[in-house]
Structure 1
Amino acid sequence: MTYVLQFGPVFQRSDLIWAGLLTTIQLSVIAISAGFVIGTVCARMRAEGGTVSRTIAATYVEAIRNTPFLAQLFLVTFGLPQFVAMLGAPIRPSPYTLAIIALSINLGAYITEIVRAGLESIPRQQVEAAQSLALKPHQIFLRIKLPPALANVYSALSGQFILQMLGSSIVSVIAVQELTSAAGRIQSETFRTFETYLVVAALYFGLAFLLRAIFYAIASMLWPWRRKTVG
């Protein structure tokens, strides 16, 4: 028995594919932005904070990095609405909002360790020189330590961002209508499972390639002397 590829039924539901693709892009951009902020704040807590700050940040990082994202997603999905209800707030987060929260928290833990490694690579002499100029701690962090730290770990950061985009497919289990969820709906309607997921895989590959190109362009603009910043 010969299997004949038929992409026609899949492309007939291109509206679902493009809507799912747009949702995936939106989820990725928001989660990457929020995760980067969370990770940078926690990295500073781990690198420069007191005992309490370091303990809180370390606990967060270890808890997230040593548990599966699916479990984290379910905890946020089923736990956060109950917590909000206990507070008496008339708010019921949508699956889309819950997905962004879970993705951001997950990414933040990994970004924390990457940025912390970058901060620890900065020579102590640079910090001491800034201190001698009477710069305030936040000025030293934002102007002296953070820019070169990000340059040193840019390749790892960009790789983690791409992995986060690909990992966003998991949120389909909580009924977020992103690309993988759209694929599930299409294959259930057309019964062309192989063709459907082949198209979706190609789209994910294209997104990853596009992100890689964008990060390389950013690196070329910020650090033109480091053409291999994105590995």
Structure 2
Amino acid sequence: MSYVFDFSFLPEYYSELANGVWLTIWMTVISIVPGFALGTACAVGRLYGPKWVQRIVTVYVEGIRNTPLIIQVFWLFFGLAILGARIGPTNAAVVALVINVGAYTAEIMRAGFQSVHGGQLEAGSCLAMSRSQLFWNIQLPQAAERVYPALVSQFILMMLATSIMSQISAEELTGVAYQIQSFTFRGFEVYLVIAVLYLIMATALRFLLHGAANLAFPRLRRLGTPL
């Protein structure tokens, strides 16, 4: 039995594929910054906050990290609808991604903060630096620099996880692929193209984050440390 590849249908669906790629990129970019901010805040709260903050953050982090993303987005999308608060699938997808990546980023950043030597904080205190100055000038830059490769991997995984959002009718790349293969019945070709597009986007995101690291962390650039 021989299989004949047929990609002749692709020109007809260029616009749909382009829209799917754009929505995937948009969901990724719009989720990274708030997700990182949420994760960093949770890491700080878990390390230095009062007991009740530490407990809340621990429940949030462990709850999100130990349940599937698809279940989380179902809770958000369908659960809010049951309560009468309806939000669109794209908005629900972005909120779910922010919540999810925030939990994973919290643990990554917590490890980064714990890796900063206490002697540096003592030296900063001797220079009359305030607690906020110690955080912004010593702790946060070094923590982010040390765990940056892990953050890059997490953000790329988040980009790939956008494919799950087709389950709530978000028309990102995988959702578009479902529609195209249902019309063309060329599932193998469709998903081969989609896999190549995801590979290109993941590679581009890695290069973009690598460039951001060169700007944010001059020491890594001088040392030539790979990310």
- TM-score, scaled relative to structure 2: 0.94
Q: Deviations over 1:183-207 (max 9, x none)?
A: 0000011111111000000000001
Q: Which residue in the other structure is 2:135 paired with? A: 141
Q: Which residue in the other structure is 1:122 paired with? A: 116
Contact (CA 8 Å) 1:10, 1:195: kept in 2 or not? no
Going from structure 1 to structure 2, the CA distance change for 1:34 and 1:81 (only over 3 Å counts) comes to farther
1-side partners of 2:161 and 2:51: how far apart?
Answer: 33
| Residues 1:206 and 2:200 are matched in the alignment | yes
Q: How many pairs were matched up?
A: 224
Q: Which residue in the other structure is 1:88 paired with? A: none
Q: Which residue in the other structure is 2:75 paired with? A: 75
Alignment of 1:39-118 (within 5 A): 39-83=39-83, 85=84, 92-118=86-112
Contact (CA 8 Å) 2:80, 2:86: kept in 1 or not? no
Contact (CA 8 Å) 1:45, 1:53: kept in 2 or not? yes
Going from structure 1 to structure 2, the CA distance change for 1:11 and 1:228 (only over 3 Å counts) comes to farther
| Residues 1:197 and 2:191 are matched in the alignment | yes
Alignment of 1:109-188 (within 5 A): 109-188=103-182
Contact (CA 8 Å) 1:10, 1:192: kept in 2 or not? no
Going from structure 1 to structure 2, the CA distance change for 1:226 and 1:79 (only over 3 Å counts) comes to farther
2-side partners of 1:181 and 1:6: how far apart?
Answer: 21
Q: Secondary structure of 1:8's partner? A: coil
Q: Which residue in the other structure is 2:224 paired with? A: 227
- TM-score, scaled relative to structure 1: 0.92
Letter of the structure 2 residue corresponding to residue 126 of structure 1: Q
- In the TM superposition, residue 80 of structure 1 has moved relative to its aligned partner by 2.7
Letter of the structure 1 residue corresponding to residue 168 of structure 2: I
Q: Deviations over 1:63-112 (max 9, x none)?
A: 001111111110111223444x3xxxxx6311111111101101100000
Letter of the structure 2 residue corresponding to residue 44 of structure 1: V
Identical residues among aligned pairs (%): 42
- In the TM superposition, residue 212 of structure 1 has moved relative to its aligned partner by 1.2
Contact (CA 8 Å) 1:220, 1:226: kept in 2 or not? no
Contact (CA 8 Å) 1:154, 1:229: kept in 2 or not? no
Q: Which runs of 5+ in 2 are unaligned?
A: none
> For the aligned residues, what is the CA RMSD?
1.4
Q: Secondary structure of 2:73's partner? A: helix
Bigger shift: residues 38-47 or 130-139: 130-139
